[in-house]
């Protein structure tokens, strides 16, 4: 698929590829706006309205728990990123931000190379910021910096664009997408209870939107040969669950919500301590905003005015 193809007109669509075909339908309907890069889209007004309504619905279900709201830009302190060990597990997904650091002579070279269609990126040097890979990443070092946890731990509410370098024709696999998350930091009991509550709530909340769903154990896409071992152990220990809804395939439904238990991984990395001196455990529930919107458009159609009345009532009140 070339860059120009991925702008996605109806005529270009490889009809055999149902994902690309569905993407083109979304583009033709004005829900997604192509940019020429697979997985990078603008969003139309109707799409955004659904995202905003769903965001509000998450707050209806989670808003009375007293979570502390934090909003970070979609970039992370590179030091936090390095400390997080993300590069151990997902080097292939990371997006680091580089910028020109050369002198005037290097600048002339850059412009000449650009003009000649050659690689101009040689003088680009890494900056202090990295694209946020998951909305919860800025939270752990922030919580750690506040010192020992209060007795009831912490509950944080975040929302951010995230970047993952996974270009795809699948409209549900974007390179930049939004994640709303609740993050629990505390004792193993507090954190496990949080995840149980959200597994139940997530199912009820999504069922209220009239979409077919299942919840299943899952694993992250760990890199390399060692990755398979990590994936297996994550599944065996049931550390990750996903709420799946068919979007572009009936047989392979798409993960729209994730329920992650990190055990004491982040607690260890940043030395987060519970009130009784133990290493803090953490868990998060993540809502994939674009995927949920896409699931709703898939099952209820592109015209939100014609969505089933009960679904409209849940979202638009």
> Which residues in this chain contact ligand AMP in the complex, by CB under 6 A?
134, 164, 166, 172-174, 177, 179, 242, 255-258, 286, 288, 290-291
- With respect to ligand AMP, which residue has the nearer C-beta, 13 or 285? 285
The footprint of Zn ion on residues 290-309 (CB under 5 A) is: none
Binding partner of residue 176 among ligand AMP, Zn ion, none, CB under 5 to 8 Å per kind? none
- With respect to ligand AMP, which residue has the nearer C-beta, 25 or 220? 220
* Closest C-alpha among 265, 170, 257 to residue 216: 257
CA angle 68, 206, 179 (to 5 degrees): 45
CB of 240 to ligand AMP, least distance (A): 7
Among 20, 26, 76, 136, binds Zn ion (CB under 5 A): 136
Contact indicator for 293, 50 with CB cutoff of 8 Å: yes
CB of 150 to ligand AMP, least distance (A): 27
CB of 299 to ligand AMP, least distance (A): 16
CB of 132 to ligand AMP, least distance (A): 11
CA 65 vs CA 51, 125, 157, 198: distances in Å: 22, 43, 10, 12
* Strand bridging mode 68-69 / 154-163: parallel
Contact indicator for 160, 74 with CB cutoff of 8 Å: yes
- With respect to ligand AMP, which residue has the nearer C-beta, 260 or 274? 260
Burial letters 57-95, b for 16+ CB under 10 A, else e: bbeebbeeeebeebebebbbbeebbeebebeebbeebbb
The piece of 68-76, 112-120, 138-146, 276-284 that touches Zn ion (CB under 5 A) is 276-284
């Amino acid at each position: 698929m070339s860059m120009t193809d991925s702008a996605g007109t109806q005529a270009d669509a490889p009809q055999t590829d149902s994902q690309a075909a569905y993407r083109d339908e979304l583009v033709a309907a004005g829900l997604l706006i192509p940019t020429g890069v697979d997985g990078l889209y603008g969003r139309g007004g109707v799409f955004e309205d659904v995202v905003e309504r769903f965001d509000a619905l998450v707050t209806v279900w989670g808003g009375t728990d007293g979570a502390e709201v934090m909003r970070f830009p979609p970039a992370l302190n590179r030091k936090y990123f390095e400390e997080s060990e993300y590069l151990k597990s997902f080097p292939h997904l990371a997006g680091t931000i580089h910028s020109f650091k050369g002198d005037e002579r290097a600048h002339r070279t850059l412009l000449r190379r650009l003009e000649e269609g050659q690689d101009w990126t040689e003088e680009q040097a890494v900056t202090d910021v990295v694209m946020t890979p998951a909305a919860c990443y800025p939270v752990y070092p922030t919580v750690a910096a506040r010192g020992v946890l209060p007795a009831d731990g912490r509950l944080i509410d975040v929302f951010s664009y995230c970047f993952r370098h996974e270009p795809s024709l699948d409209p549900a696999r974007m390179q930049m997408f939004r994640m709303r998350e609740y993050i629990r930091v505390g004792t193993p009991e507090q954190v496990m209870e949080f995840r149980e509550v959200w597994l139940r709530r997530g199912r009820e909340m999504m069922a209220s939107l009239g979409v077919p769903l299942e919840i299943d154990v899952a694993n992250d896409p760990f890199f390399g040969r060692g990755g398979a071992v990590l994936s297996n152990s994550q599944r065996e220990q049931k550390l990750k669950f996903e709420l799946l809804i068919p979007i572009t395939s009936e047989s392979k439904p798409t993960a729209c919500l994730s329920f992650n238990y990190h055990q004491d991984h982040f607690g260890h990395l940043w030395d987060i301590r519970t009130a009784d001196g133990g290493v803090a455990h953490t868990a998060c529930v993540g809502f994939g905003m674009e995927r949920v919107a896409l699931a709703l458009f898939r099952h209820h159609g592109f015209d939100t005015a014609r969505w089933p009345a009960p679904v409209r009532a849940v979202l638009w009140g």
